Amino acid sequence: ELNDRLQRNMVSKDMIIKRLYLELEALRGPLGPTEIDVSTQIISLWVTSVFLSGSQRQHHVYQIHVRIGPEEWNVYRRYSEFYNLHQESKKQYPVVSAFQFPPKKTIGNKDSKFVEDRRIKLQQYLRRLVNHLVANNPMLSSSASKSSLTASIPFFAEARESPSRSSRSRPPRVHSSHTYGGL
C-alpha cells in the first residue's frame, strides 16, 4: 500500500514537472532536451505577429523575435522562406523530416484562424529545429550568440540579400494586419 501511494505520488510529480517544463518552454522558447541550466545562454524565439504585405500579390510576413542573453532582434520572413529553411534543414539533418511543419495551402490561406494556427505551428517548428541544432552543433551549444546562430542558420540574420529582392529585415509595408496579442 505504501509503495502504491509512493508510486502514484511520483507519477503525479513527474506530470507536474513535465507541465511546468512545457510552460517554461512556451514562455522562454527552446530549452535543452535534458537539463535546464539558467546560466547557459538560452535561445528564445517567438513568432510574434503576422502582417499582410504586398500591393498586387499580397502575402503574409511573419515577425520572428529572437533573444539570446542580452541580444535581441527581429526578423521578417514569408512562409516560402520558412519552407525553404525546412527543405534545406531536412537535407542537412534527416531527422528534421519528422518535425511537424505546417503545409502549404493555396485556398483560404488569408483566413485569420488559419494564419494564427500557422503562426503557432511555425513557432513550434522553429523552436524544435533550434533545439535540435543546439544539441548537435558544437558552435551553438558551447557559446550561443547572435553571430553563432546566424552563422549556423542564416534564416535568422536580420539582413539577407537576394539577387532579385531587397532585404526583408525591415518591417514590411503593412496594408492590413493580423497581429498576435502577446504571450
Taking the C-alpha atoms of residue 75 and residue 150, their distance in angstroms, rounded to an integer, is: 11
Give the residue from 93, 53, 80, 75 showing the smallest Cα distance to 146: 75
- Total domains present in the chain: 1
Give the pLDDT band (50/70/90) at residue 167.
Answer: very low
Number of neighbouring beta carbons within 10 Å of residue 125:
20
Question: pLDDT by residue (tens digit) across 113-132?
Answer: 999 999 999 999 999 999 89
Q: Which residues contact 64 (CB under 8 A, 6 or more apart)?
A: 45, 46, 47, 48, 74, 75, 76, 77, 126, 156
Taking the C-alpha atoms of residue 76 and residue 177, their distance in angstroms, rounded to an integer, is: 14
In a domain, 4, yes or no: no
Q: Which residues contact 140 (CB under 8 A, 6 or more apart)?
A: 43, 133, 134, 148, 149, 152
In a domain, 68, yes or no: yes
In a domain, 19, yes or no: no
Give the residue from 81, 125, 117 showing the smallest Cα distance to 100: 125
In a domain, 65, yes or no: yes
In a domain, 98, yes or no: yes
In a domain, 5, yes or no: no
CATH of the domain at 100: 3.30.1520.10
Question: pLDDT by residue (tens digit) across 62-108?
Answer: 999 999 988 999 999 999 999 999 999 999 999 999 999 998 877 76
Structural domain harbouring 108 = 30-178
Answer whether 0.85 is exceeded by the pTM: no
In a domain, 78, yes or no: yes
In a domain, 67, yes or no: yes
Give the residue from 135, 16, 156, 141 showing the smallest Cα distance to 81: 156
